[in-house]
Structures are given as C-alpha cells and as structure tokens.
Chain A
C-alpha cells in the first residue's frame, strides 16, 4: 500500500530533477486544474443555518417541515451544540446519577432499605453520561435525515451577504448560498482573567463534566446555576466544594431572594460551603494545590483558598468568532451579542440571529422558541415568543425553578402585590417521599389577582414550573389555578394551595 503511493512520488521527483528550470505548466494543464479544483459553485437554499445547536437544529427541522430547502452547518462534528454535548444533557446525567449515589449512601436506612458495600465507578458514570449524549445527538442527526435537512460538517464564514464559505471538517471547502440565513452559533464559557483554563485543574463546565478522578477539593468561582449544579455533582461524589460568589446571593440574576436563601441553606446542609460577596483576585497553579486569593467584594481581609480543581463558572458569552461578520458589516454590542430587531433580523434583513449569540437569557428552551418563531417569520410573516414567560430551572436537589418576576423586581416596579406560599412539608406526596424541603411561592397583582411570578424550590420544581409558565402565558389569576382540580396525592397540590393562599387561604397549612 505504502509502496504504491511512494513509487509515483519517487518517479515524479526523479522526473522533476531531469527537467530544466524554470518549471512550466501548460495552459491546458491550468485549464484542467481550474475545472477540477475550484470550490463548487454556490448552491441555492431557501435557508442556511450556521450552527447545529438547539437553536440551529430546531430551526432547521421546523423550516424543513414548512417546506423550505434547508442547509445546517455545524463545525463540532455532532449536532446539539453546547446543550446536548457539553451542557444541559450531560450535566443532568451526572446530576441524576450522583444524586442516586448520594441517596443510596445517606438516605436509605430511614426508608427501610439496607444497602451493602456501595462503590462508585467514575468511568462507568461518565460512560452512561456519554451514552445519553450520543443517543440524543445521533437522534437529531436522524431527524435531519427524516426531514431532508442538508447537514454540512464544517466551519462557516460569510463570503458575502448571501454566500457562506464552509471549511469542511473532512478537508476542502464549499460555498453555500441562501435566500435567508440564520446565525445560531451559541455561546462559550466566559474566561476569568488571571485563571488560565486547561480543563484539567482550572476547568469550565465542559471540564467539570469529564474529570478523570474525584478531586479532594474544588472551588467554584461563580454561584450561578452552572456553578451550583456542577458543584452539587462533585460534592455528592465526595469532593469538598466551596462556592465563591461576588454577589450577596446565589442562583444568579432572576432567582427570588427568599428562594435563593432557602437554596443556600439546603446546599450548605449537603456540605457545600459558600463565600458570598467575595471576589477572586487571582490564582497560583504552580504547586500541587491551586491557591486562590479572595477578598470581600467591598474590600477587606484577604484569604487564600486551596483547591485541587477550580471551576470557573462566571457566565457565558456569545460565540461569533470566525463568522467573518466584518465582511458583511454586522456588528456586535458591547457584550458580543449580535443586534437584532423584534423579528430576529439584523440590519441585513435576510440574516436573522437566534439563541445565545443574541439578546435574552442563554437558555436552550428560549433558543428553541426563537428558532420556531424565526422560521415562522420567514415563512408566514409572524411568530411568537413571550420573553416574560421563559422559565429558569436549577437542577440541584431540591430543584429550584421560577418564571416571571421575582419579589424584588415586583417591589421595584411599584405594583401592589400579594404573595401566596405553601411548604412541601405540608404536602402529602412530599411527606410520603420523605422529601419535604422547599416551598411554592406565587406573586400576584393585588388589584387584578393576575399571576406575576412563580418561584419554586422543592422536589420536581423543574416539572412543576410548566404550570406556572402556562399560567403566565395565558394571563391567569391565582384563583384560576386555585379553582382547578389537581390530582391527589401529588406535589402539584402544593402549587394549587400556594395559589389558594394568594386570594384566600390554603387548606392544609
């Protein structure tokens, strides 16, 4: 095999030596080269989507269902973007299995289950996560085939306003032209100045999903949802986790202060330490342990924290590198987001932007909504996304979920409001499950009884928030919820009773 490759090359070299310089190429050879080697002529598509993440692949499938000829370009090599590959999905696999492990270790005896020797097989834990990821990414690829979406694996950049040049992953390049183009290139972890990420010791959420051994200690820089979820995983597996947060509360913006305090209390009880209102000054990675210098956010005593691993989870930033936006005159704002109008159009109206690389919360379900709406704007001329009814969920245990405005926001708006809440400790199903931490809190307009916000900390909060989101989407009152029958015994009765306590009184509390 090798020889058959080598001989012509050797022959060519000897022939090369025999030829007198300058080396010439005949015009006919040039013509042949031209014919063979130039990039293929641009193909025309109704819609070209850059990015095969949640925003991109949903837009691609929706557009194909609407009868458009669609091409989706993705450079990762697998579809699903951050969410499926290194985000929501693998983290949930680890959260679920680490919770099971933790529960077997610490919460079986009082339930009447005696367990023998419990061992953790980290490699298998990671493998089961990878199986979930692969199944889902391949599933999306199947959906592309089913819907006749052309899938190009490669890195896209704008050649002109309607043409996209793709450097194919398998080598070579190709040009695709689109009547409409959607940019859905997502986001990446925001680096922390002074802490160089190597994904081994200084890690982002991506590295936190693939650690090869359980670290003794971990400092999480940033007490938002990503930091607390990944901190929970490793804490359950035996790591001593300390969360350092610049703000005075955990959970990031949007989480109701009362809920945030409750979550901190529960997580503290699970073994996670918190340093709030604390800023990280820098780190030293030269020793066996990473030394992290921190001090009070408003200035004060300095302290050094030791850790085997530091997880940088201070947020995410839009990812638009390599798109060649400058070639078509598209700008980003001061935070790197592509500027769009209410129909997701850039100033070049045939180019739309959806998902993490533009305005709004960086959430997969928000990106999905935008994907459907953007395609509907292209095809039908109208679409719908209610940014006031996008739920947020933190998949710790207990889960935290919310939708609409929190109490601090309602208070700041000057609207007169009422609060109804109901603890899971008074809910029959939570009692039977021996899982009673948390509560449901509903905020309503004092005059109209319209629900303004729903905040849940407790078992199954992530599922239950769908009812709150539907209520806000429909403009429901607390009485609408309170007078709707909820099955007994279910956790959702806590939701109903919280609503009842807004306009009247809860029965069981």
Chain B
C-alpha cells in the first residue's frame, strides 16, 4: 500500500490527472439567487415581460392569500361583520314575508329537481316492467 503510494508520488509528474475529481459531499449553497431566470431549455432563452413584474407575487404566502380569498364568502373570519360572526338567531328570521316564496328553480342547477326522462316515467308507471320486458 505504502510502496504503491510512494511509487505513485515519485511518478506524479508522469501520471495523468483524471478530469473527474471528487468534490466532497454535496452541501446546501449558502445563498441561492431566486430571482427568475430563463429556463435552460427555453427556446427563447428569455422570460416574458410579465415574469419580471412577478417579483412581487400577488400572494406571497398562503396565509396572506387567505386574507383576501373568497369561497362563498371570505375564507378567514373577518374581525367585524364577517359571515358567521353573529349567531343565526340574532340575525332574525329568514322566513319569507307573507306572499313571498322561495322557488327551488331559483337555486343553482345542482339543487333543482332532476328532470324526469320518458323512460323513467314509463318505468315508474309500469312498476319497472318496461325495463325488463
């Protein structure tokens, strides 16, 4: 082992140096530049103009996104006057006034009655016989 080492050392000038070098264990870079750069496989090698304006994202974090997100009302509870803040009882009755009606057909389509098809009507009226005869 040592003999080989000594021989190699003495012949160092004659030995070739491999291009592959062991660089050590991979480490996390101390600082990484995260500003948008063109993707290496991008055919144009440049980013569209609107990417540059994306330096300041509209929703930098999920929590800040939730501040303004809406789904059937705000996602987060507003401090005052938000949906769900007051109890239903305190909001008073939601019954229609006299002469006023809620129609199922005013609801979104998925809450309306499923339209009956002729085949179903026939099946109902014959107790299912049309399906098997």
Task: Name B36's closest neighbour in chain A (CB-CB).
Answer: A341
How far does the alpha carbon of A343 sit from the alpha carbon of B19 in the complex, in Å? 29
The contact size tier of chain A is 35 or more
On chain B, the residues within 8 Å of A26 by CB distance are 95, 102
Minimum Cβ distance to chain A for residue B128 (Å)? 5
Q: Does B2 contact A (CB under 8 A)?
A: no
Minimum Cβ distance to chain A for residue B43 (Å)? 7
On chain A, the residues within 8 Å of B19 by CB distance are 448-450, 474-477, 479-480
Q: Does B58 contact A (CB under 8 A)?
A: yes
Q: Once A and B bind, how many residue pairs between them come within 8 Å at the CB atom? A: 130
Q: Does A162 contact B (CB under 8 A)?
A: yes
How far does the alpha carbon of A343 sit from the alpha carbon of B128 in the complex, in Å? 61
Contact A342 B37 (CB under 8 A): yes
On chain A, the residues within 8 Å of B29 by CB distance are 382
On chain B, the residues within 8 Å of A44 by CB distance are 62
On chain B, the residues within 8 Å of A325 by CB distance are none
Contact of B20 among A38, A347, A360, A476 (CB under 8 A): A476
Contact B102 A345 (CB under 8 A): no
Chain A residues numbered 17-63 whose CB sits less than 8 Å from any CB in chain B: 22-27, 30-31, 33, 37-38, 41-42, 44
Given A22-B103, A340-B39, does the pair A480, B59 have CB atoms closer than 8 Å?
no
Chain B residues numbered 22-74 whose CB sits less than 8 Å from any CB in chain A: 28-29, 32, 34, 36-43, 47-48, 50-51, 53-54, 57-59, 61-62, 65, 69, 71-72
How far does the alpha carbon of A37 sit from the alpha carbon of B112 in the complex, in Å? 11
Contact A360 B128 (CB under 8 A): no
Given A30-B102, A350-B57, A476-B19, does the pair A37, B36 have CB atoms closer than 8 Å?
no
Task: Name B57's closest neighbour in chain A (CB-CB).
Answer: A349
Contact B128 A2 (CB under 8 A): yes
On chain A, the residues within 8 Å of B47 by CB distance are 339, 341
Chain A residues numbered 336-391 whose CB sits less than 8 Å from any CB in chain B: 339-345, 347-350, 358-361, 380-382, 385, 387
The contact size tier of chain B is 35 or more
On chain A, the residues within 8 Å of B107 by CB distance are 25, 30, 33
Contact B32 A382 (CB under 8 A): yes
Q: Does A302 contact B (CB under 8 A)?
A: no
Q: Does B115 contact A (CB under 8 A)?
A: no
On chain B, the residues within 8 Å of A349 by CB distance are 36, 54, 57
Given A24-B101, A25-B102, A33-B111, does the pair A360, B124 have CB atoms closer than 8 Å?
no
Contact A343 B102 (CB under 8 A): no
Q: Does B104 contact A (CB under 8 A)?
A: yes
How far does the alpha carbon of A128 sit from the alpha carbon of B50 in the complex, in Å? 50
On chain A, the residues within 8 Å of B50 by CB distance are 347
Task: Name A13's closest neighbour in chain B (CB-CB).
Answer: B124
- Residue with the highest number of chain A CB atoms closer than 10 Å, among B19, B37, B42, B75: B19
How far does the alpha carbon of A342 sit from the alpha carbon of B42 in the complex, in Å? 9
Majority SS of interface residues in chain B? loop
Q: Which of A3-11, A105-113, A235-243 is found at the contact surface with chain B?
A: A3-11
Contact A27 B54 (CB under 8 A): no
Contact B102 A339 (CB under 8 A): no
Contact A6 B127 (CB under 8 A): yes
Given A2-B128, A480-B20, does the pair A24, B37 have CB atoms closer than 8 Å?
no
Task: Name B42's closest neighbour in chain A (CB-CB).
Answer: A359
How far does the alpha carbon of A13 sit from the alpha carbon of B125 in the complex, in Å? 10
On chain A, the residues within 8 Å of B57 by CB distance are 348-350
Given A341-B39, A342-B40, does the pair A382, B127 have CB atoms closer than 8 Å?
no
Q: Which B residues are closer than 8 A to A by beta carbons?
A: 16, 18-20, 28-29, 32, 34, 36-43, 47-48, 50-51, 53-54, 57-59, 61-62, 65, 69, 71-72, 75, 94-96, 101-104, 107, 110-111, 123-124, 127-128, 131
Query: Could you list 18 A-B pairs, sorted by A, with CB under 8 Å?
Result: A6-B127, A24-B101, A37-B110, A161-B59, A162-B62, A162-B65, A342-B39, A343-B36, A348-B54, A349-B36, A361-B41, A382-B29, A382-B32, A450-B19, A474-B19, A475-B20, A477-B18, A477-B19
Excluding A343-B34, A345-B36, 7 further A-B contacts by CB distance (< 8 Å) are A24-B102, A343-B36, A347-B51, A361-B41, A476-B18, A479-B18, A480-B18
**A-B pairs with lowest CB-CB distance, top 10:** A360-B41, A341-B36, A359-B41, A179-B62, A347-B54, A477-B19, A342-B37, A24-B101, A27-B94, A2-B128
Q: Which A residues are closer than 8 A to B by beta carbons?
A: 2-3, 6, 9-10, 13, 22-27, 30-31, 33, 37-38, 41-42, 44, 159-163, 175, 177, 179, 331, 333, 339-345, 347-350, 358-361, 380-382, 385, 387, 448-450, 474-477, 479-480, 483
